[in-house]
């Protein structure tokens, strides 16, 4: 079987300063494929106090597969990360793209942003548009494309495309081995607009649940899933009801919860809910990456709902891409260093992605697709 082995690929993106930022920014520079962080604590403190900078000590440097500086465009992120993963998915290779970083570092902006101005659109809407463009240009094959979306909050998995979610209760779905969420709604999409509408609805449900249940967005994970199957347009097989081989790929786009540490100090007076708000799924995700990076025999995938859903998607039969987002403000240097250290560890995780195939019987429905290339 054809395979593409290698390791998890990692990119870093530095968010430019925005209005809400406090204190001096530009603690982080990008040079080629390296991120450089000025971590001299004294220098940082002097700068925060508004004093002139004196000779700073050596900066910390982290090398990745690519870096996106403060002036990088959404298009660059898609071209380097999204497009290669999409191309592989059309060959039957699973892909997972995860955004990791502290709250406010640009994860949602990079992955999900939708705007009337196309140039600001994030990776997921670009991926959807490119997918349907590629499908329309491939007259030799027939495709089936489906979309689903889940949220993991407080160890509960909810279907973001299930209308029951609207009541704010969620539907608390189970996760089977291999990352299969049982009872999840998969929506078959024939046009990019159908898939974009589904994902927009899913995203609106995250926001709705947050407001209704007072959930903090920084504590929930949103996972957008695509299933793409492809087979040759075979008229003879269709006539005889023969089985034909198709490729099947699953794509995950994961907007992870904010990675910042909840301050442990001062738990006195802190409400119990806040004290227990440390995200178990995110901790488990970090532990899984560490175990895989260290080639440990036991990988604690079953420790949380998120890692159960990502079973096979990190360090398995999947092309896994991590986009770590960091803030360029000096006040966040500590979190930035944590994030970049985590990202360096993730680069040591091996993957072994294979072309996934299955035999499908050509049904009357598929025959229609064969005879009507315009349907896709």
Q: Does 12 engage in binding with ligand ADP (CB under 6 A)?
A: no
Q: Which two tokens stand for residue 315?
A: 């360090």
- Residue 206 beta carbon to Mg ion: minimum distance, rounded to whole angstroms: 9
- Residue 204 beta carbon to Mg ion: minimum distance, rounded to whole angstroms: 14
Q: Does 16 engage in binding with ligand ADP (CB under 6 A)?
A: yes
User: 51: which residues sit within 8 A by CB, 6+ positions away?
Assistant: none
The C-alpha atoms of residue 148 and residue 186 are separated, in whole angstroms, by: 5
Q: Does 93 engage in binding with ligand ADP (CB under 6 A)?
A: no
Q: Does 108 engage in binding with Mg ion (CB under 5 A)?
A: yes
Mapping DSSP to helix (H, G, I), strand (E, B) and coil, where does residue 142 land? strand
Q: Does 114 engage in binding with ligand ADP (CB under 6 A)?
A: no
Question: Is the CB of 115 or the CB of 363 nearer to ligand ADP?
Answer: 115
* Site size for ligand ADP (CB under 6 A): 13
Question: Is the CB of 219 or the CB of 231 nearer to Mg ion?
Answer: 219
- Residue 210 beta carbon to Mg ion: minimum distance, rounded to whole angstroms: 11
The C-alpha atoms of residue 125 and residue 317 are separated, in whole angstroms, by: 25
* Site size for Mg ion (CB under 5 A): 2
Q: Does 103 engage in binding with ligand ADP (CB under 6 A)?
A: yes
Buried b (16+ CB within 10 A) or exposed e, 97-107: bbbbbbbbbbb
Among positions 38, 107, 250, 319, the unique one binding ligand ADP when judged by CB under 6 A: 107
Binding residue positions: 101-108
Q: Does 125 engage in binding with ligand ADP (CB under 6 A)?
A: no
Q: Which of 309, 260, 335 is nearest to 103 (CA)?
A: 260
Q: Which two tokens stand for residue 222?
A: 């949103």
Per DSSP (E only), the strands in 50-195 are 60-63, 66-68, 95-100, 141-153, 156-159, 175-176, 180-181, 187-188
Q: Which residues bind ligand ADP (CB under 6 A)?
A: 15-16, 18, 101, 103-109, 258, 325
């Amino acid at each position: 079987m054809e395979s593409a082995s290698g390791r998890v690929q990692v990119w870093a993106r530095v968010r430019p300063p925005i209005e809400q930022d406090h204190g001096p920014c530009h603690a982080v520079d990008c040079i080629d494929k390296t991120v450089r962080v000025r971590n001299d604590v004294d220098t940082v403190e002097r700068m925060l106090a508004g004093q002139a900078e004196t000779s700073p000590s050596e900066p910390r440097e982290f090398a990745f597969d690519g870096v996106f500086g403060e002036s990088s465009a959404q298009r660059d992120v898609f071209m380097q990360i999204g497009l290669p993963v999409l191309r592989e998915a059309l060959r039957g290779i699973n892909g997972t793209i995860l955004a990791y970083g502290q709250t406010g570092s640009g994860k949602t902006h990079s992955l999900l942003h939708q705007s009337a101005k196309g140039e600001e659109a994030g990776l997921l809407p670009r991926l959807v548009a490119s997918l349907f463009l590629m499908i329309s240009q491939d007259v030799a094959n027939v495709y089936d494309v489906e979309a689903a979306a889940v949220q993991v909050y407080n160890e509960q998995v909810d279907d973001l495309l299930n209308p029951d979610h609207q009541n704010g209760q969620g539907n608390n779905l189970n996760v089977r081995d291999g990352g299969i969420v049982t009872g999840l709604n998969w929506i078959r999409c024939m046009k990019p607009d159908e898939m974009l509408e589904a994902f927009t609805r899913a995203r609106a449900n995250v926001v709705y649940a947050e407001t209704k249940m007072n959930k903090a967005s920084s504590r929930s994970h949103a996972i957008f899933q695509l299933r793409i199957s492809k087979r040759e347009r075979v008229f003879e097989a269709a006539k005889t009801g023969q089985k034909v081989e198709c490729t099947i790929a699953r794509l995950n786009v994961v907007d992870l919860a904010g990675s910042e540490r909840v301050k442990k100090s001062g738990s006195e007076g802190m409400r119990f809910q806040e004290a227990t708000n440390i995200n178990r799924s995110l901790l488990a995700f970090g532990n899984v990456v560490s175990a895989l990076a260290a080639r440990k025999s036991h990988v604690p995938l079953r420790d949380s709902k998120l890692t159960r859903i990502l079973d096979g998607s990190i360090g398995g039969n999947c092309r896994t891409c991590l986009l770590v987002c960091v803030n360029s403000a000096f006040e966040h240097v500590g979190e930035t260093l944590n994030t970049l250290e985590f990202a360096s560890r993730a680069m040591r995780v091996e993957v072994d992605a294979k072309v996934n195939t299955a035999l499908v019987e050509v049904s009357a429905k598929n025959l229609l697709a064969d005879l009507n290339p315009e349907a896709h």
